[in-house]
């Protein structure tokens, strides 16, 4: 009898595993392939009047990113190296007065190397520099692990207001062909120009108007590759839960083995979850947490169910009746888990 039960159980487990593997490979095959927008987008959020536009000194700014590294979502920082060039006319010196507003530490984590400074044939000034540093970025991890993130350089002039100077992005010459992003996919590159108003006069009582400056944002939008979601979360989590669901095919004569499997599943879930908690700032609740919350709940209900049905069987309950309830609970848990994973997958497709 035990040999028959073992053979029947092995066959069911094999069929379930094959269906699981086929589903995973189906999702992987149907995954969307990220297509990088080769052109750089321009988002113009300015609303300058015609009178102001005539008086503004225009500074053309171009950025050629080289590398992005140390993307630390827990500390909200990233490192970037890039070429930046400026073209202007007049007596201003924007190459000396510009500031990168989200620079973390100018003294330790920043290096600016001036490479070229010359006068073009049309009389305009041209300045090329290379900057390297650590920059602040408030990462939104709500949709982790299918989140999209933006890496931004924010430029402002420390001397001239937006009525005197405006940044004009060099969209045509800004390229990303040398950009290195390890472990991420590049989705989009964009410039956003706007007028940034500081509500405070910073104690300067002779000035009653708000301090307004031209602001340029260079934005690189990135996301995790599909395999990050697939290999790091779905596959190991499903295998761990599968070990938990094995107990539904074991007879109640092996109640100790049932509880042993369930306890091991609970510990494995806790260990697996700890691997990504360090990436979440302020221990924020993220999308994958809902799958883990369900997994903890399902494991706890499975353990309580085994103990409850075992006591019922010892008091005269038919074991086939307990098996029927087991199958219903098992089916319900599988459906809920599949819906949660599918929901995250659909969220990935939205990006």
For the ranges 5-14, 37-46, 219-228, 255-264, the lowest mean pLDDT is seen at 5-14
pLDDT mean across residues, the chain: 82
The per-residue pLDDT for range 291-321, each reduced to its tens digit, is 999 999 988 888 888 888 888 888 888 888 8
Give 343 or 126, the one with higher predicted confidence.
Answer: 126
The per-residue pLDDT for range 249-260, each reduced to its tens digit, is 778 888 888 888
Please determine, for residue 152, whether its predicted confidence score (pLDDT) is greater than 90: yes
Instruction: Indicate the pTM of the whole model.
Output: 0.81
Please determine, for residue 27, whether its predicted confidence score (pLDDT) is greater than 70: no
The per-residue pLDDT for range 208-260, each reduced to its tens digit, is 555 788 999 999 999 988 778 878 888 888 888 777 777 777 788 888 888 88
User: 262: closest CA among 312, 199, 307, 232?
Assistant: 307
For the ranges 68-72, 139-143, 194-198, the lowest mean pLDDT is seen at 194-198
CA of residue 20 relative to chain centroid, distance: 26
Domains in the chain and their CATH numbers? 2-30+227-350 (1.20.58.390), 41-224 (2.70.170.10)
């Amino acid at each position: 009898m035990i040999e028959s039960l073992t053979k029947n159980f092995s066959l069911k487990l094999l069929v379930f595993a094959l269906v699981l593997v086929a589903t995973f490979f189906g999702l992987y095959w149907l995954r969307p392939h990220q297509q990088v927008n080769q052109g750089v987008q321009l988002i113009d959020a300015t609303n300058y009047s015609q009178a102001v536009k005539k008086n503004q000194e225009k500074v053309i700014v171009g950025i050629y990113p080289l590398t992005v590294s140390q993307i630390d979502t827990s500390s909200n920082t990233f490192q970037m190296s890039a070429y930046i060039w400026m073209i202007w006319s007049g007596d201003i010196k924007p190459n000396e007065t510009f500031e990168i507003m989200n620079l973390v530490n100018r003294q330790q984590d920043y290096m600016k190397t001036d490479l070229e400074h010359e006068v073009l044939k049309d009389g305009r000034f041209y300045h090329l520099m290379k900057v390297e540093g650590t920059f602040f970025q408030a990462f939104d991890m709500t949709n982790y692990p299918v989140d999209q993130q933006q890496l931004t350089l924010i430029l402002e002039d420390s001397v001239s207001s937006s009525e005197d100077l405006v940044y004009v992005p060099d969209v045509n010459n800004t390229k990303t062909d040398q950009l290195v992003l390890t472990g991420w996919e590049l989705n989009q590159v964009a410039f956003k120009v706007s007028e940034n108003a500081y509500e405070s006069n910073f104690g300067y009582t002779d000035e009653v108007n708000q301090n307004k400056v031209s602001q340029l944002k260079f934005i690189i939008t990135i996301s995790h590759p599909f395999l990050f979601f697939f290999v790091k979360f779905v596959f190991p989590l499903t295998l761990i839960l599968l070990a938990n669901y094995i107990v539904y095919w074991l007879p109640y004569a092996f109640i100790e083995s049932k509880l042993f499997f369930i306890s091991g599943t609970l510990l494995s879930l806790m260990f697996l979850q700890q691997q990504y908690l360090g990436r979440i700032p302020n221990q924020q609740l993220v999308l994958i947490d809902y799958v883990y919350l369900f997994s903890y709940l399902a494991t706890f209900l499975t353990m309580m169910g085994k103990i409850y049905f075992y006591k019922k069987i010892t008091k005269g309950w038919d074991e086939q009746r307990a098996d029927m309830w087991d199958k219903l609970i098992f089916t319900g848990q599988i459906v809920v888990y599949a819906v949660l994973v599918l929901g995250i997958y659909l969220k990935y497709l939205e990006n």
